[in-house]
Amino acid sequence: MSSARNISVSQDDLIHQVSRSLGLSTSPAAPTHSTPSSFGYATAAANANVTASKHLKPFATEDIKILLLENVNQTGRDILASQGYQVEFLKTSLPEDQLIQKIRDVHVIGIRSKTKLTARVLQEAKNLIVIGCFCIGTNQVDLKYAADHGIAVFNSPFSNSRSVAELIIGEIIALARQLGDRSNEMHAGTWNKVSNKCWEVRGKTLGIIGYGHIGSQLSVLAEAMGMSVVYYDVVNLMGLGTSRQVDTLEDLLGQADFVTCHVPELPETVKMIGQQQFEQMKTGSYLINASRGSVVDIPALIQAMRSGKVAGAALDVYPNEPAGNGDYFHNDLNTWANDLRSLKNIILTPHIGGSTEEAQSAIGIEVSQALVKYVNEGITLGACNMPEVNLRSLTIDEPDHARVIYIHQNVPGVLRRVNEILGDHNVDKQMTDSKGDVAYLMADISNVDTPTIKDLYSRLESLSSRIMTRILY
């Protein structure tokens, strides 16, 4: 959808928030509920063409509706509930039609890696102001569409990276010793004591593709086991320990005994490991993928393992992952499933890299705190798709103070027009920043009463550059 249509849709349909700020309390032990008197209001289309009275309705913190999908951890649920928000919690993701029904109603949605928030879904989300990805990856969200429509997106950039790194260490040893096969054989009643093609990992080379939060932690753990580490990354990065960056993916594939992928899903990383890359790997080497299912071409992996080029593999991520637990391989999408499952020395796990108690608990806290700060104070620190804007502690709890949040198109002349509107008032502090096509302005003003706030809101909304206006008071 173009920016122009965005504006017209917003003017006609979007509900914008003018919510009472309640201050931020992220501790479940010290809830900050609104009181009946601490109301604000939400308006729809409070612009020149639509009278505010037609669209005004009561608004309070208890009116904030949050939908949490995919079994978001209790820590996050507690923090959000402690704010007095209405929290609906589901253990699974939702199919698109049900997601569209539910998302129409909510101001905040919390998801993990399975829920696809595409432009098609988001255009139905008329009340949505913020998305929390309770995970690292944000490839499941159309970040640009969200930003262009004033919807901030937060994630947890590193809370599960240690969990993933530890899983990979376990898999390296398991593959080198064919543990999966020996265990399966024993479960089937067969004693098969072999040393042929079973190895120590000491002295072997680990090749890490993507030396970010996970890749770099893994590097340290692998060296502690006596492995040599090489890594390939599109950014020049200092290696930890004695690890070395190599210039090309081909360099890495030619040196590594174990190759492990830790890149985000991007157009350039889709099928980054395919037939050509398997040919460049050492004969008898191993492949691990716990990044995204699109990064490795599975039919090419099957071929490489059948030919003996690749001696083992561990996959934690797949194309077309299911919404919840249950049957997976019996569907028409994964035509390679039976071939994959029939291979020897292949570890198949259901996307559990970040699934530890420690990681999920930390993610729940981190992302829900960011959501509360955004809803209550408009703070965008850590946002993935918006400029990061913060102002020192709020004074908007005071009766005649308000915080203006104006998300707008990043085009010349907007600040002048906004400041013409704000200039009649006492602007205590103000900050603005931009990211790509979107800019975010935050201003704290004092000596304003409720009618003035409504007037400010209408005037800001009437500017052609506006994406979303929120006034917290």
Ligand X SMILES: O=C(O)[C@H](O)COP(=O)(O)O
Token pair, residue 333, equals 């999408």
C-alpha to C-alpha distance for 78 and 87, rounded to whole angstroms: 10
- When asked if residue 354 is in the footprint of ligand X (CB under 6 A), the reply is yes
DSSP structure string for 103-139: HTT-SEEEE-SS--B-HHHHTT-TT--EEEESSS--T
Is the alpha carbon torsion for 15, 19, 25, 27 positive or negative?
negative
When the beta carbons of 294 and 458 are compared against ligand NAD, the nearer one is: 294
Least Å distance between CB 390 and ligand NAD?
23
Show the site string, 62-101: x = touches ligand X by CB under 6 A, - = not.
----------------------------------------
The verdict on 355 binding ligand X (CB under 6 A) reads yes
CB of 409 to ligand NAD, least distance (A): 28
Burial 424-460 (b: 16+ CB within 10 A, else e): ebeebebebbbbeebbbbbbbbeebeeeebbbbbbbb
Residue 165 touches ligand NAD, criterion: CB under 6 A: no
Tokens at residue 156, please?
A: 């947890």
User: By CB under 6 A, is residue 403 in contact with ligand X?
Assistant: no
Q: Is 155 in the site for ligand NAD (CB under 6 A)?
A: no
- Cα-flanking dihedrals φ and ψ of residue 185, to 5°? -60, -45
The 3-class secondary structure across 304-342, one letter per residue, is HHHCCCEEEEEECCCCCCCCCCCCCCCCCCCCCHHHHHC
Which helix (H) or strand (E) covers residue 408, if one does? strand 402-409
Closest CA relative to residue 466, chosen from 55, 45, 51, 43: 45
Q: What token pair was written down for 189?
A: 């009643």
220 near ligand NAD (CB under 6 A): no
Question: Would you count residue 294 as binding ligand X (CB under 6 A)?
Answer: no
Q: Which residue among 212, 293, 382, 387 contacts ligand NAD (CB under 6 A)? A: 212
**Antiparallel, parallel or unpaired: β 466-472 and 402-409:** antiparallel
175 binds, among ligand NAD, ligand X, none (CB under 5 to 8 A by kind): none
Cβ at position 98, least distance to ligand NAD in Å = 24
Indicate the residue among 134 and 211 with the shorter CB distance to ligand NAD: 211
Please state the closest distance from residue 294 (CB atom) to ligand X, in A. 12
Pick from 21, 61, 123, 160: which binds ligand X (CB under 6 A)? 160
Strands, E, within 22-128: which ranges? 40-44, 57-59, 65-68, 86-89, 108-111
- CB 264 → ligand X: shortest distance, Å? 9
Identify which of 371, 372, 378 has the alpha carbon closest to the alpha carbon of residue 468: 378
Q: Which residue has the tokens 């020897």?
A: 344
Which residue, 300, 307, 244, is CA-closest to 277? 300
137 binds ligand X (CB under 6 A): yes
Q: Is 363 in the site for ligand NAD (CB under 6 A)?
A: no
Active-site residue numbers? 292, 321, 351
Nearer CB in complex with ligand NAD: 313/405: 313
Minimum distance of ligand NAD from residue 233's CB (angstroms): 4
Residue 345 CA to residue 37 CA, distance in Å, equals 64
Contact between 162 and ligand X per CB under 6 A: no
Q: Does 110 bind ligand X (CB under 6 A)?
A: no
Residue 290 site contact among ligand X, ligand NAD, none (CB < 5 to 8 Å, cut-off depends on kind): ligand NAD
**264 contacts ligand NAD (rule: CB under 6 A):** yes
Helices then strands, counting H and E runs in the chain, come out as 16, 19
Nearer to ligand X, 135 or 300 (CB): 135
Select the binding partner of residue 262 from ligand NAD, ligand X, none (C-beta < 5 to 8 A, by kind).
Answer: ligand NAD
Task: Read off the DSSP letter of residue 209.
Answer: E
Secondary structure E strands in 28-101: 40-44, 57-59, 65-68, 86-89
What's the min distance (Å) between Cβ of 125 and ligand NAD? 23
- Least separation, in Å, of the C-beta of 342 and ligand X? 26
List 143, 214, 370, 371, residue binding ligand NAD (CB under 6 A): 214
Which residues are at the interface with ligand NAD (CB under 6 A)?
A: 136-137, 160-161, 164, 209-215, 232-235, 262-266, 268-269, 290-292, 316-317, 351, 353-354
Q: Under the rule (CB under 6 A), what is the footprint of ligand X?
A: 112-114, 135-137, 160, 351, 353-355
